[in-house]
Homo-oligomer: A and B are copies of this chain.
Amino acid sequence: MSESNSLRERKKERTRRAIERAALDLFEERGFDGATVDDVAAAADIAPRTFFHYFPSKEDVVLADYAGRLEQLVATLREGPADESPWRALRAAFVAVSADYESQRAQMLRRFRIISSAPSVGARSLQLQADWETTVAGIVAGWLGTDSELQIVPRLLAGAALSAMRASMALWLAGGGKASPPELMARCFDLLDAGLGEVGVSATSSP
């Protein structure tokens, strides 16, 4: 997608990856709180101050992949809008994104483990997901021709979608990454699709 050709761009990209790599290694080894930004900088062979030119906070190194994934999600949503129902469009887009989790399994599990063991990273993760929610709600509002500020429906759809995503990711992580993310995601979306009123009244949950 976004390619670099100048020497400058290439160098920046290389440094960025060096920082990310060093950070994830250290966080995995000593825990998020067990490694300081200075440690990461030393391991990545840069000055401590430089770290903050690449990432706005220590937490954000772990979540650096979110931005690209949101971009991909938005692109998918803009392509296939509402020939079908909004909810089904959301379902398709989120299922598509979840394919990443499979193809980059090792990386994802690494990051998830840090997220769920370090509260401050978890908090930042939720905050970024809330941004996703706002973006998604805006797009849905566009489909429905209403403005996102005052309408309930776009917010609820976006909120439900992100909940489904969180639930399926939690499941995937709990199972050690053995299950298929797209399948889990689809199942979560379908449960919400059917309506929650009757869920759980008779046993409807087994695999």
Residues of A within 8 A of B (CB): 85-88, 119, 122-124, 126-127, 130, 140, 143-144, 146, 149-153, 155-157, 159-160, 162-164, 166-168, 170-171, 174-175, 184, 187-188, 191-201, 203-205
Contact = CB atoms under 8 A, between A and B. Distances in A.
B153 A159 contact: no
A76 B170 CA distance: 27
B195 A156 contact: no
Contact of A127 (B123, B150, B152, B168): B123
How many copies, total?
A: 2
Contacts of A164: 156, 159
B88 A205 contact: no
B205 A146 contact: yes
The binding surface of chain A is classed by DSSP as helix
Given A192-B196, A195-B196, 4 more contacts: A126-B127, A143-B200, A155-B170, A162-B163
Nearest to A159: B163
Contacts of A166: 159
Contact of A198 (B85, B197, B198): B85
Contacts of A87: 196-197, 199-200
A204 B130 contact: no
B201 A151 contact: no
